[in-house]
Amino acid sequence: MTSQPPAPAAELSGRIRGGPSDLLHDEVLAPQFRFEVRHLLDHYVAVEKVLAAEYVRMDLLTAAEARAVAALLDEVGPDTLAARPDANMSDIAFALERHVTAGLPAPVPRWHVDRSRNDLQACAQTMFGREQVARFAAALLDLCAVVLARAEETRELPMPGYTHFQAAQIITPGFHLSALAEHLLHTQRRLLHTYDGMNACPLGAGAMAGQELPWDRVRMARLLGFDRPQPNALTAVASRRWSAEATAELGLLGAALSRFTTDLLTWGGSEYGFLELPDELSGISSAMPQKKNYPVLERVRGRTAHLAAFHTDVLLGQRNTPFCNLVEVSKEAGTHVLAAFDSAHGTVRLLTEVVRRLDFRADRMRAVCAREYLGGFSLANALALTEGVPWRTAQVVAGKYIVSAATAGVPPHPGAPDLLTRAAAEHALTLADPAGLLADAFDVDRGLARLASEGSAHPEAVARALHAQRDAHEELRAAWNLRAGAVRAGAAETARALGPADGTEPGHRPGTGER
């Protein structure tokens, strides 16, 4: 097909006489326009309303003119704006400007004076990013709540813990889940820090060096729910570091969730059989009817890989560029930011349901605890503490006993005192109570009860840890609610500043039912 010359554009600049080519429109501008209309339009509208309120404060617009602008902005929806190379350069900012200008009953010459698209776009994108971080944090809080509840339910169920893929010590599912909760809370704190770091308003930075009118940047930041204005104009429009920082947190979390999910996959296998998922979260083999598979866990683990890849994509998209405002580079680098958050959100939702529906098989877990010699460490400790055997010698004696007992087919509990006596005799040691040492060291319930240090798998230590984690969880939920409240308060203050344009309640979007 022969490419057609670009149609004459409605004049937007004295420098450009024609609109973008079909190729540029189809490959770049139209997809970007559709994305922004779907995901950033409300943010662009909010920014334009704050600008209108500022024009009123600076006596550049009358209150009536600002209300007329706000009313036209309230008419805008996903079906209102179109990417038109001939009319708006297929740019959402120009499309909004043209929509308002065309709808005003009389020209308002000083509307949009001293304005740049650069800080406008940076502000809308930062608001979008802030929204995504908060949305994901809410899903993560839900996961943490479920993990804490299941940890409380299972903190007394003995199960074997593994180091180096070998049975090592007795723990509980609750202890393991408490470790997961600790990681989720750590991620929440980091996400909150990321949110606060990006919660600096770019508006008022202009193209890169600031603006000529006395914009009240503190007020504009507050009206848009930001904590503060970004103090450096160049940083405001050129940095875009929030996307790299936010996706970095998703990547780090993904690596951790992959490891925890690997534990669940391992424990759900037939070799262990420590847990089971309900049928609706399970799969089958088309060839082997005896199998019950857990593809949901495979999906969770597989999805976590995307999170690291999306972060790398953001980094590579921004590398080797000068620290100036290259808007289109920033847009391209952020192409998959929403996909990163959607992937993380879906992954967390799946894992939340998995943890909620997990059935831990107490009988299978206890059977392995009873079968394995998980009290070897306790036996060595007891030899040193009650029999006066030097610690390293105690380790050797305990090891020799376990080898001989396992070879003879002796179960760990109550054990074979004569074999322990023989192992001690090889080191010229006489034991006062070998039977008592073995009975205590390899008792499954004692394996948990003897743990005395804070942070251990002792059920009471886990209970204390969970109590502190629940408090931290509530504090973090309150912190996120506080930040959400600041966004709502800013929107309400903007609505009050502009006032109702047509008798509707301030802040109402006609025809949408939204606020």
Sorted by where each starts, the structural domains of the chain and their CATH numbers stand as: 22-113 (no CATH), 118-159+171-363+462-498 (1.20.200.10), 375-441 (1.10.40)
* pLDDT at residue number 17: 72
User: In sequence order, which residues have a C-beta less than 8 Å from that of residue 320 and are 6 or more positions away?
Assistant: none
pLDDT tens per residue, range 370-417: 999 999 999 999 999 999 999 999 999 999 999 999 999 999 999 999
Share of the chain above pLDDT 70, in %: 92
| Nearest Cα to Cα of residue 101 among 72, 74, 62, 63 | 72
Which two tokens mark 299? 């999906």
pLDDT tens per residue, range 241-264: 999 999 999 999 999 999 999 999
Query: Is residue 86 over pLDDT 50?
Result: yes
Average pLDDT over residues 467-477: 98
Query: Is residue 444 over pLDDT 70?
Result: yes
Report which of residues 506 and 209 the model is more confident about.
Answer: 209
Average pLDDT over residues 233-239: 92
- Give the CA distances from residue 42 to residues 37, 104, 216, 241, 419, in Å, rounded to whole numbers and listed in that order: 8, 20, 22, 22, 77
Using CA of residue 234, residue 235, residue 239, residue 240, what is the dihedral sign? negative
pLDDT bin (cut points 50, 70, 90) of residue 58 is: very high
Report which of residues 165 and 189 the model is more confident about.
Answer: 189
Query: Is residue 271 over pLDDT 80?
Result: yes
pLDDT tens per residue, range 112-159: 999 999 999 999 999 999 999 999 999 999 999 999 999 999 999 999
DSSP 14: S
* pLDDT at residue number 411: 95
Residues 305 and 227: their CA atoms lie apart, in Å, by 33
Query: Is residue 13 over pLDDT 80?
Result: no
Which two tokens mark 16? 């450009």
* pLDDT at residue number 285: 66
Strands, DSSP E only, in 300-397? 359-360
Amino acid occupying residue 427: H
Q: What is the mean pLDDT of the chain?
A: 91
* pLDDT at residue number 510: 37
